[in-house]
Amino acid sequence: MLKGIHPALSPNLLKILAEMGHGDEIVLSDAHFPAHQLHSNVIRADGLTIATLLEAITPLFEFDQYVDAPLAMMAAVAGDTLDPTVEESYLAAIRQINGDVPKVERVERFAFYDRAKQAYAVVVTGELAKYGNIILKKGVTPVYQP
Protein backbone atom coordinates (compact mmCIF):
# COMPACT_ATOMS: atom_id res chain seq x y z
CA MET A 1 0.00 0.00 0.00
CA LEU A 2 1.27 3.45 -0.88
CA LYS A 3 0.46 6.66 0.91
CA GLY A 4 -1.68 9.04 -1.14
CA ILE A 5 -2.66 6.41 -3.72
CA HIS A 6 -6.34 5.46 -3.88
CA PRO A 7 -6.80 1.81 -2.84
CA ALA A 8 -8.82 1.09 -6.00
CA LEU A 9 -5.64 1.43 -8.08
CA SER A 10 -3.88 -1.89 -8.48
CA PRO A 11 -0.10 -2.00 -8.99
CA ASN A 12 -0.70 -3.11 -12.59
CA LEU A 13 -3.03 -0.19 -13.31
CA LEU A 14 -0.56 2.27 -11.76
CA LYS A 15 2.16 0.85 -14.02
CA ILE A 16 -0.04 1.25 -17.10
CA LEU A 17 -0.95 4.86 -16.21
CA ALA A 18 2.74 5.68 -15.70
CA GLU A 19 3.73 4.08 -19.02
CA MET A 20 1.16 5.99 -21.05
CA GLY A 21 2.39 8.96 -23.02
CA HIS A 22 0.73 12.14 -24.29
CA GLY A 23 -2.15 11.24 -26.60
CA ASP A 24 -2.40 7.63 -25.41
CA GLU A 25 -5.87 6.47 -24.46
CA ILE A 26 -7.16 4.08 -21.83
CA VAL A 27 -10.61 2.52 -21.85
CA LEU A 28 -12.52 2.07 -18.61
CA SER A 29 -15.08 -0.51 -19.64
CA ASP A 30 -18.24 -1.87 -18.15
CA ALA A 31 -18.51 -5.56 -17.28
CA HIS A 32 -20.21 -6.33 -20.63
CA PHE A 33 -17.48 -4.89 -22.86
CA PRO A 34 -15.70 -7.40 -25.18
CA ALA A 35 -12.27 -6.30 -23.92
CA HIS A 36 -10.39 -9.57 -24.38
CA GLN A 37 -11.66 -9.89 -27.95
CA LEU A 38 -10.58 -6.35 -28.83
CA HIS A 39 -7.31 -5.90 -26.96
CA SER A 40 -4.30 -7.81 -25.65
CA ASN A 41 -3.57 -5.40 -22.77
CA VAL A 42 -6.54 -5.95 -20.44
CA ILE A 43 -6.54 -5.18 -16.73
CA ARG A 44 -9.25 -6.57 -14.47
CA ALA A 45 -10.87 -4.28 -11.90
CA ASP A 46 -13.85 -6.48 -11.10
CA GLY A 47 -16.07 -5.20 -8.32
CA LEU A 48 -15.15 -1.56 -8.92
CA THR A 49 -17.37 1.01 -10.58
CA ILE A 50 -16.02 3.36 -13.22
CA ALA A 51 -16.89 6.36 -11.03
CA THR A 52 -14.66 4.93 -8.29
CA LEU A 53 -11.80 4.42 -10.75
CA LEU A 54 -12.24 7.95 -12.09
CA GLU A 55 -11.92 9.29 -8.52
CA ALA A 56 -8.72 7.26 -8.16
CA ILE A 57 -7.18 8.04 -11.57
CA THR A 58 -8.05 11.75 -11.90
CA PRO A 59 -5.52 13.04 -9.31
CA LEU A 60 -2.74 11.22 -11.21
CA PHE A 61 -3.86 11.80 -14.79
CA GLU A 62 -3.67 14.92 -16.94
CA PHE A 63 -6.45 15.00 -19.53
CA ASP A 64 -5.25 16.00 -23.01
CA GLN A 65 -5.66 19.76 -23.32
CA TYR A 66 -4.85 19.77 -27.05
CA VAL A 67 -7.99 17.99 -28.23
CA ASP A 68 -11.58 19.18 -28.18
CA ALA A 69 -12.85 16.23 -26.13
CA PRO A 70 -10.36 14.15 -24.10
CA LEU A 71 -13.23 11.96 -22.87
CA ALA A 72 -15.30 9.69 -25.10
CA MET A 73 -18.35 7.59 -24.33
CA MET A 74 -20.35 5.22 -26.50
CA ALA A 75 -23.41 6.64 -28.23
CA ALA A 76 -26.69 4.76 -27.97
CA VAL A 77 -27.56 2.39 -30.78
CA ALA A 78 -30.52 3.60 -32.90
CA GLY A 79 -33.76 2.94 -31.04
CA ASP A 80 -32.00 2.68 -27.68
CA THR A 81 -31.64 5.35 -25.01
CA LEU A 82 -28.88 6.52 -22.69
CA ASP A 83 -29.29 6.81 -18.95
CA PRO A 84 -28.07 10.38 -18.27
CA THR A 85 -27.14 9.49 -14.68
CA VAL A 86 -24.26 7.33 -15.96
CA GLU A 87 -22.39 10.25 -17.57
CA GLU A 88 -23.38 12.52 -14.68
CA SER A 89 -21.82 10.15 -12.13
CA TYR A 90 -18.58 9.94 -14.13
CA LEU A 91 -18.32 13.70 -14.52
CA ALA A 92 -19.14 14.21 -10.83
CA ALA A 93 -16.24 11.91 -9.91
CA ILE A 94 -13.86 13.95 -12.10
CA ARG A 95 -15.28 17.28 -10.90
CA GLN A 96 -14.78 16.22 -7.28
CA ILE A 97 -11.04 16.01 -7.93
CA ASN A 98 -10.41 18.57 -10.71
CA GLY A 99 -13.10 21.14 -10.09
CA ASP A 100 -13.83 21.25 -13.80
CA VAL A 101 -14.60 18.58 -16.36
CA PRO A 102 -13.25 18.14 -19.87
CA LYS A 103 -15.65 17.81 -22.78
CA VAL A 104 -17.14 14.38 -23.55
CA GLU A 105 -17.77 13.22 -27.11
CA ARG A 106 -20.22 10.45 -27.99
CA VAL A 107 -18.89 7.82 -30.37
CA GLU A 108 -20.90 5.32 -32.43
CA ARG A 109 -20.67 1.78 -31.00
CA PHE A 110 -18.45 0.16 -33.64
CA ALA A 111 -16.28 3.26 -33.96
CA PHE A 112 -15.86 3.08 -30.18
CA TYR A 113 -14.72 -0.55 -30.50
CA ASP A 114 -12.24 0.45 -33.22
CA ARG A 115 -10.90 3.21 -31.01
CA ALA A 116 -10.63 0.78 -28.08
CA LYS A 117 -8.46 -1.50 -30.23
CA GLN A 118 -6.00 1.38 -30.60
CA ALA A 119 -5.99 2.29 -26.90
CA TYR A 120 -2.98 1.65 -24.68
CA ALA A 121 -5.03 -0.62 -22.43
CA VAL A 122 -8.56 -1.62 -21.46
CA VAL A 123 -9.65 -1.82 -17.83
CA VAL A 124 -12.63 -4.11 -17.29
CA THR A 125 -14.62 -3.02 -14.26
CA GLY A 126 -17.64 -4.34 -12.44
CA GLU A 127 -19.71 -1.47 -13.86
CA LEU A 128 -23.15 -2.72 -14.89
CA ALA A 129 -24.54 0.48 -16.43
CA LYS A 130 -25.55 0.14 -20.07
CA TYR A 131 -23.23 2.23 -22.29
CA GLY A 132 -21.02 2.65 -19.23
CA ASN A 133 -17.69 2.70 -21.10
CA ILE A 134 -15.42 5.74 -21.20
CA ILE A 135 -12.12 6.49 -22.94
CA LEU A 136 -9.61 8.86 -21.32
CA LYS A 137 -6.97 10.59 -23.48
CA LYS A 138 -3.80 11.43 -21.56
CA GLY A 139 -2.27 14.87 -21.79
CA VAL A 140 1.12 16.33 -20.91
CA THR A 141 1.81 15.95 -17.21
CA PRO A 142 2.93 19.22 -15.61
CA VAL A 143 6.52 19.47 -14.38
CA TYR A 144 6.80 18.22 -10.81
CA GLN A 145 7.61 20.99 -8.34
CA PRO A 146 8.34 19.74 -4.80
Was 95 annotated as part of a binding site? no
Active site residue 36: no
Was 90 annotated as part of a binding site? no
* Backbone dihedral angles phi then psi of residue 117, each to the nearest 5 degrees: -60, -30
Was 120 annotated as part of a binding site? no
Residues 6+ apart with CB under 8 A from 124: 29, 31, 33, 35, 42, 43, 44, 45, 46
Q: At what angle do helices 84-98 and 50-57 cross, to 10 degrees?
A: 20
**CA-based max dimension of the chain:** 52
Was 30 annotated as part of a binding site? yes
Catalytic residue among 6, 22, 32, 39: 22
Q: Give the Cα-Cα-Cα angle 13, 142, 22 (nearest 5 degrees).
A: 55
- Which alpha helices (DSSP H) does the chain contain, by range? 11-19, 35-38, 50-57, 84-98, 109-118
Is the Cα dihedral 128, 134, 138, 139 positive or negative? Answer: negative
Was 109 annotated as part of a binding site? yes
Return binding residues.
Answer: 30, 109, 131-133
Return binding residues for substrate.
Answer: 30, 109, 131-133
Residues marked as catalytic:
22
